[in-house]
A and B are shown apart, each in its own frame.
Chain A
Amino acid sequence: MAKRTGLTRREFLTGSAMAIGGLALTDITARMAWAAPTDTIRVGVIGCGGRGTGAAKNCVESSPGIKIIALADAFKDRLDDTKKHFNVPDNRCFVGLDAYKALLALAEVDMVILATPPGFRPIHFAATIEAGKHVFMEKPVAVCPKGIKMVIAASQEAAKKKLAVVAGTQRRHEARYVETMKRIHDGAIGTIVAAQCYWNQGGLWFKEREQGQSDVEWQLRNWLYFTWLSGDHICEQHVHNIDVINWAFNMLPDEVHSIGGRQFRTEPKYGNIYDHFGTEFFYPGDVRTISICRQIDGLDFNASERVIGTKGWSDCGGSIYGENAWKYSGANPNPYVQEHADLIASIRNGTPLNEGQRVAESTLCAIMARESAYSQQRFRRTWFTAKCNLNLLPPAELKLTDAKPVPPAAIPGKYQLDGWVSDNTPKKA
């Protein structure tokens, strides 16, 4: 493979904020291994909101030789600040729902940060792998089982193409978590017999609907509140903690039963998501775990995890109590930066990380819990992956000007869980 032509070391050292717009980035013909740790990796950002811009900054901070060279967003006003910050030229800034296609068509882009609302992720991810680019993608990676299948298929494709895929479940890259998990997996707390995880917090931002705004634009700008875009808050936020519990078990739950509702945040501006979920995940061996998440203003904050074993317990993030008590005392670099450092290093080493399947599985668990709460039904994961074909993916012909009525928040009993027939109910307490 040809050695990558790129910015010189000297150019890199002058800093990313200057002069990039003037560089000619041409004759890139294929993805290839990088021979030196400072060879420039050219990054495109799809989804330039707070998290997309944050991820881009984290990426630049993480490693030498990172250039943000192309941007895409549905809205120009969302892209402008990011464009200015990274000094990206007009001809590599793309606006609109199809902007991602134009960005992915740029041969000079080596890696893409995917940070749009999660509803678009499977389509964007599959297209990015198709285009042969490395990926950093924010969590969650889908909002429906159809999307999960796309992400898993694209991850397998990425492996074949030796493309790196890292996801924004940053605890997987946080030293205190990594070190704790090593010990848990080595048996420090014995066999895991119970676990709990939580994400309880107040409400999040919303933007008042402007006059004349189409349904689609209004929903995109308030994407948190629409299940087709965010996956509901259990998927959008709590997936972090669910992922940690999956990590501790090194397994996925066999079954799920969840209850939830919309009790406090009931105004139409909050779309159709719930404001609380209480979930029981059943891991192999009938190990039952608690998951609680809530977005209600003014209440206690708690985002944490806990696993309990036959010999002790752990907070998963630096402490083990019991027979093998231990406390992490090393450095704990910013995990939002570390995840990019790990990603970039893996690309440069020619041993690309691929977290696609794993983050898809944790997202799947969150989606299962949401669907269980919406229907109040208890079901097995094997049933869900085989029979539930819920498809919330945005249609290819979606336009920013489209009308898109908001389905009501799910009412158990009225909500039709895709593929459900009542015989699926496991008959034990």
Chain B
Amino acid sequence: MSTTPATKPNGAAALVTGAMNTIHAAGSGIIKVGWLGCGDRGRGAIRQCLSADPGTEVIACADLFESKAISGREYLKQNPKYKDRVNIKDDQIFHGFDCHEKLAQTDCDLLVMATAPAFRARQMLAAINAPKPKHIFTEKPVATDVAGCRMVMEASKIAVQKGLAIVCGTQRRHEFSRVALMERIHAGQIGELVAGQCYFFCSGIWYRKAMPSMSELEWQCHNWYHFTWLSGDQVCEQHVHNIDMMNWCFNGPPKKFMAIGGRQTRNYSADAKEVCKRYNNGSDANWEKYNGNIWDHVFAEMEYANGARCASFSGHGPGTDREGEKIVGTKGTSDCSSRIEGENPWKYEGQHVNGQQQEHIDLLESIRAGKPLNEGQRIAESTLTAIGIRTAAYSGKSFSWNWLMNASKQDLVPPQEQLKPGPGHFDPISTGCDKLV
């Protein structure tokens, strides 16, 4: 993929409104944006989208919670930088578990997706198969289970056929320094890659109690980080960034996984008991499930196609923070960010950009140039890599990429028709020797 600044739109192709579903928004006209997931990251992403291109306009928004969708529109309208490009009519604000389907029916050209990761794959498919198919910006990770990753790969193929762009929030791929560095690594400046390390270990995360009127399932989605089926666990939700860097170094996913891990420190008992009482007539008898089922530490080994074994170190806890990567070759090493040490020392001295902004610039420029970027397959592979690590850790088993990709039947997200306000969906905390499915 190209992440050097894309060719500027030449302005020759005027945007044709109406039924032009094959040249989505190519050219210089208005790009109509639908906003899906109006939480904190969603707010960041939509701001970055609007900043990236003055020709963008938000015409619809959606969130599981009505209040969030409404406040999302207000949030944008209050910002003097963007308010003129916020044109969301009341009937273009959607909520509920099927809000993505309603959003898919709108006239927007581009979707900015930032809901909980569990729903991403279905949302993508709906957007790409919509009567007016849509370009996509999606936050990472793009799924929480193997089935979801396959769905994203399928969506990605359809997107290619339809000329749709898919860019995702693994922003390191859009930082100029890393792009320049990777060109050197791929050109052999550190020799053959023989080892690597990647880390995302930091202090914990919020725990959200139930808001008034939330059903149990809605509360779970509100507190999504703590449930593997919703977030994919921390290794997937957060560490996917660093895993993606390893995959970038090796130009593809690993061929084998081995991992250990567990849940040693996470405890939200006071809040979890309160939530338990809320949904159990005042009893906190079985409060533990409200504590969530994600782990808090995972240590993994990924073996890449050439036999190189890379360490992955992730989790939440009180210990020493680690975040970053290192790649080791026969002729040198790199921090995967801006430096090479060894036989061919090098330091990036060019322009530094904010990757979270640049990814939107690259996406919109590619749409206008009629050369849509499509990162769908790649982000699905990196998400599946993280899921592979989690699955190896939860099961204690080693397995291959091929098994995971082709044979695993892992499918954690309840069918769409079961997703409605009502009881929650709880899985137990893994003991580290789950059966492989």
Residue of A nearest to B431 (CB): A264
- Interface size for B (C-beta < 8 A) is 46
Tell me, yes or no, whether B350 is within 8 Å of chain A by CB. Answer: no
B9 interface hit (Cβ, 8 Å)? no
**With A264-B433, A297-B433, A411-B265 in contact, is A277–B301 under 8 Å at CB?**
no
CB nearest to A410 among chain B residues: B264
- Flag whether A280 is at the interface (Cβ < 8 A): yes
Provide the bound-state CA to CA distance between A99 and B191, in Å.
Answer: 60
**Which residue of B261, B307, B328, B397 is within 8 Å of A263 (Cβ)?**
B261
User: In the complex, are the beta carbons of B195 and A278 less than 8 A apart?
Assistant: no
- Answer yes or no: B24 CB below 8 A from chain A CBs: no
Q: Is the CB of A290 within 8 A of B311?
A: yes
Contact A263 B263 (CB under 8 A): yes
Asked whether, in the complex, the Cβ of A413 is within 8 Å of the Cβ of B320, the reply is no
The reply to whether A376 and B309 form a contact with Cβ atoms under 8 Å apart is no
Contacts of A261 in B (CB 8 A): 261-264, 297
Mask, B318-337, CB within 8 Å of A = 1, is 11101111101111010100
* A292 adjacent to B331 (CB under 8 Å): no
Q: Do the beta carbons of B431 and A263 come within 8 Å of each other?
A: yes
Contacting pair A412 B432 (CB below 8 A) = no
Interface presence of B197 (CB below 8 A): yes
Q: Is the CB of B265 within 8 A of A412?
A: yes
A296 to B433 alpha-carbon distance, docked (Å): 8
Beta-carbon contact of A263 and B258 below 8 Å: no
Is A429 part of the binding interface, using a Cβ–Cβ cutoff of 8 Å? yes
Cβ contact within 8 Å between A194 and B260: no
B396 touches A257 (CB 8 A): no
Which residues of B sit under 8 angstroms from A263, Cβ to Cβ? 261-264, 430-432
- Asked if residues A257 and B320 are in contact (CB atoms below 8 Å), the reply is yes
Report the Cα distance A311→B331, complex, angstroms: 10
Contact B323 A429 (CB under 8 A): yes
Closest to B311 in A: A290
A275 at the interface (CB under 8 A from B): yes
Task: Classify chain A: how many residues form its interface, as a range.
Answer: 35 or more
Q: Say whether B319 contacts A259, CB under 8 Å.
A: yes
Q: How far, in angstroms, from A306 to B197 measured CA to CA in the complex?
A: 16
The answer to whether A162 has its CB under 8 Å from any CB of chain B is no
- Whether A250 sits at the interface, judged by CB under 8 Å, is no
Which of A196, A276, A294, A378 contacts B301, CB < 8 Å? A196
- C-alpha gap A425/B194 in the complex (Å): 28
Cβ 8 A contact of A376, one of B308, B319, B329, B330: B319
Residue B163, interface by CB 8 Å: no
Contact with B along A348-386 (1 / 0, CB 8 A): 000000000000000000000000000111100000000
Interface presence of B65 (CB below 8 A):
no
Q: What B residues does A288 contact at CB under 8 A? A: 195, 197, 311, 326, 328
The answer to whether B313 and A262 have CB atoms under 8 Å apart is no
How many angstroms between the C-alpha atoms of A345 and B260 in the bound complex? 43
Check: B398 CB closer than 8 A to any chain A CB. Answer: yes
Q: When the two chains form their complex, are residues A193 and B194 in contact, meaning their CB atoms are under 8 A apart?
A: yes
Q: Is B299 an interface residue (CB 8 A)?
A: yes
Q: List the A side residues contacting B433 at CB < 8 Å.
A: 264, 296-299
In angstroms, Cα B192 to Cα A193, docked, is 12
A316 within 8 A of B: no
Cα of A376 to Cα of B261 in the assembled complex, Å: 13
Q: Closest CB-CB distance, B70 to chain A, in whole Å?
A: 39
Distance in Å from the Cβ of B345 to the closest Cβ of chain A? 15
Partner of B319, one of A296, A300, A412: A412
A258 to B310, CA, bound (A): 16
In the complex, whether A71 has a CB less than 8 A from a CB of chain B is no
Per-position binary interface string of chain B over residues 243-279, scored 1 when its CB falls under 8 Å from any chain A CB and 0 otherwise: 0000000000000001011111100000000000000
Contact for B432 among A264, A378, A425, A429, CB less than 8 A: A264
Asked whether, in the complex, the Cβ of B301 is within 8 Å of the Cβ of A290, the reply is: yes
Q: Do A292 and B264 have beta carbons less than 8 Å apart?
A: no
In the complex, which residue of chain B has the Cβ closest to the Cβ of A306?
B309
> Contacts A259-B315, A378-B320, A429-B324; is A412 near B301 (CB within 8 Å)?
no
Per-residue CB contact flags for chain A residues 48-67 toward chain B (1 = under 8 Å, else 0) read: 00000000000000000000
- Encode contact with A along B166-202: 1 for CB under 8 Å, 0 otherwise: 0000000000000000000000000100110101010
B29: Cβ under 8 A from any A Cβ: no
B318 touches A292 (CB 8 A): no
* A-B contact sample (12 more), CB < 8 A, given A194-B195, A259-B298, A429-B335: A257-B313, A259-B201, A261-B261, A276-B262, A280-B313, A288-B328, A294-B260, A297-B433, A313-B194, A377-B320, A426-B320, A429-B323
Interface residues of chain B, those whose CB is within 8 Å of chain A, are 191, 194-195, 197, 199, 201, 258, 260-265, 297-301, 307-309, 311, 313, 315, 317-320, 322-326, 328-331, 333, 335, 396-398, 430-433
Q: Which 5 A-B pairs rank lowest in CB-CB distance, beginning with the nearest?
A: A376-B319, A278-B299, A429-B324, A194-B195, A263-B262
The contact sample of 30 A-B pairs, CB cut-off 8 A, is A190-B330, A257-B313, A257-B320, A259-B261, A260-B262, A260-B264, A261-B264, A262-B262, A262-B264, A263-B261, A263-B430, A264-B432, A264-B433, A275-B262, A276-B260, A278-B299, A279-B299, A288-B197, A288-B311, A292-B299, A292-B301, A294-B396, A297-B433, A310-B191, A376-B297, A376-B320, A412-B317, A413-B265, A426-B320, A429-B322
